[in-house]
Structure 1
């Protein structure tokens, strides 16, 4: 039920609010709540010493504002005295501590759930196993180029609830949502976009079925006046179609669609609105490299339907250079191009990155183990990679999948191991010659060595820029 933000914050007066996590997405939320005169306790599993190492400025700022803290191993003890708990997306909704809180009558919510409840403008929301961030950004770029005031956030890195009172009904909100955010959501956006679904985050979700169910929450609560965009080339998302309540819009690289966008055989992106076809742009004129980015454009075009002109889409496609950490050209040194594809936290994402180039690559891969299979990645590595530098917890799993695949040819693929990212870059550099491409495309999460993929990508870029 839509409520005015001012009334919502007034209703929170006199209640104890626990906010889990003091990271990027919750810092502004905590400041907002304190600024409204609310009683806030910050719950974080990190100790004070650890917060002073990583978030010293934020920790001191919140302390000065009067926030209470519940830190370290027993940080969830504060749930017992809280009336409302804002969980972080990284905290599993089904943890015993949250289950106990709900059982005892506590309100368990999230920044994004409340934002959806209060947002006065049209919401475009994107989820999927791969392509979420680029697609979300493209939708935002389309709408901005068309003259809209756009509020971009969610899993893409910015909390939107702190800006809720400045959002006007004529604006647009474009958000990226992960399965962790969606698992407890019971409100859907005006436009719901599912890029694709493949095995991911099975270290957190109990089963693949739970993961799929979380993704479906994006559109299951829509009304008849909404729009859902589905990938016709993905078996799982294609199967969602019968459950769509509003307008169904599809995209495909392989076949025509009745409503949405598709790639014609001659390489032209075609927009289809209620059966009427319109040529948009040839794939070779898109600045972003790779067929997966063609797919991202088809997705974004379907999301905005006829709300954005073909001229605007063409302008964005020819000028937009991409999002950081997504096949981002870092540097050319001695004729070797170094790319940062740290966003590639899954095999399917790495496969897309490998397909973006028309030559064999030198690839740095490996990281935290999300308990997902690497066998689907193996034939692509054997076909498209000439030197594979592995590190992190998943290194043995990736190597096993690659070497046991029937396509493996040891004389055509060199596999190296490194203990650190610095060592991995050095080994890649030693193996490279002029004309080669070195790409960080981990096929794994970053949590074994870094807080997130952004931090990993930034470290990679510093290492590459330091090369002499």
Structure 2
């Protein structure tokens, strides 16, 4: 075991530790800390009745429960692990830091102590697919890979099993990055566009959070940036180590690009190396070409071109990302529940070469829908809207030049079940129906995964 990891685990003995929330990142960490001798308390807004069996399980471990609406007013641990979705600048956490308490997160500690090289991926869109592609390429090359972070697995609980020869691939959200003071060895920023403005105080704070993925790198690190995105391209002036750009529109000085003949090509130290034609990539859409260009840039030098091609030809995509659900009566149904922002929905719409039936709407993240409207006018024949954002999306689409001549029809549904029923009734053979919400799910579902699963169940039940 790495000496720093051992020292950290040993230091937990007798420490009072407050865990905020018992979600994915804490469910495995809590029993680990208890086993190391920490005095753990769970702090959660939920009542004991709402926690149910989870509360019984925690108490069986000896965990103290600090529950209810005032849970943040009882933070007295020497160390506080915040949940990934909690604002770093929450007043109670700020007060705790001023009192000398340590406020950290599961992922912050993992990045600080991980003994193996870490690949970190962030961005407004495409980060999960890019993270998965990097992990697939490294695994096929023969590395033992630990994939986690925002993608759904806590990594600190397995830190003692990580070898220096392994590779860790971590998806990082802006919520996780905002307090980071260490950066991965390879940092990838897929793109930056307005997102999560319901949580961040403004766009500048959101952008600054993203910068933390490379802000603490050294000269021996690598940063991979999207040259086609104005914000990420500007980050190139701030990087400390080797900088690769990926682009569909031009040839970078160093990095991966899409040639005029449609070949994904790598530029490395002045040499151009063709990789494969984009038509051989199994998952559809130009946005996935960008994801491959980012992944290729990240793993270049550790993964052979042959392995990169093998992954491109065989990888079938990630659940909830333009995921083919079924074909019924000549109608193809797709689940793109991950499209929780207008820019992500645009990428999904542009993956198809025909007018579609789209199910959209959901929780309001305070992101404008005007950039989405022209693409909808061009690509959508029937728009079925649900959720609290339905009126905003309709207003943006109707105000878009060309709407009247487009022939688009707009319907409203009370929920996803009714939206699926309307689409099923109106769709004809040859049509494509896609759940492309352009919004988060929190008005009706705990997360986009549950929304996507419900959509698939509704479609399979038709």
TM class by shorter chain equals over 0.9
Query: Are 1:89 and 2:84 an aligned pair?
Result: yes
Aligned to 2:404: 409
Q: After the TM superposition, which residues 49-448 of structure 1 pair with which residues of structure 2 at under 5 Å, given as runs? A: 49-52=49-52, 56=53, 58-79=54-75, 81-409=76-404, 412-448=407-443
The alpha carbon displacement at 1:3 in A equals 5.6
- Let me know the Cα RMSD of the aligned residues: 1.1
The alpha carbon displacement at 1:78 in A equals 2.6
Q: Distance in 2 between matches of 1:276 and 1:411?
A: 47
The alpha carbon displacement at 1:77 in A equals 2.5
* 1:238-295 CA-partner distances (Å, limit 9, x unpaired): 1111110000100000000121100001100001221211111111110000000000
Q: Distance in 1 between matches of 2:37 and 2:154?
A: 20
* 1:62-95 CA-partner distances (Å, limit 9, x unpaired): 222121111121111331x211100011100001
4+ runs of 1 displaced by more than 6 Å? none
* 1:74-120 CA-partner distances (Å, limit 9, x unpaired): 111331x2111000111000011101111111100000110011100
Q: Using a 3 Å threshold, how does the CA distance of structure 1 residues 3 and 367 change in structure 2: closer, same or farther?
A: farther
Q: Please list every run of 5 or more consecutive structure 2 residues that lacks an aligned counterpart in the other structure.
A: none
Contact preservation (8 Å) 1:151, 1:173? yes
SS across alignment from 2:404: coil
Contact preservation (8 Å) 1:18, 1:78? no
Contact preservation (8 Å) 2:378, 2:406? no
Contact preservation (8 Å) 2:196, 2:365? yes
Aligned to 1:27: 27
Q: TM-score, normalised by structure 1?
A: 0.97
Contact preservation (8 Å) 1:3, 1:117? no
Q: Distance in 2 between matches of 1:27 and 1:452?
A: 17
Contact preservation (8 Å) 1:250, 1:260? yes
Aligned partner of 2:460 among 462, 465, 468: 465
Contact preservation (8 Å) 1:287, 1:320? yes
Contact preservation (8 Å) 1:382, 1:409? no
SS across alignment from 1:4: helix
Q: TM-score, normalised by structure 2?
A: 0.98
Contact preservation (8 Å) 2:188, 2:224? yes
Q: Distance in 1 between matches of 2:230 and 2:437?
A: 25
Query: How many pairs are equivalent?
Result: 461
Aligned to 2:36: 36
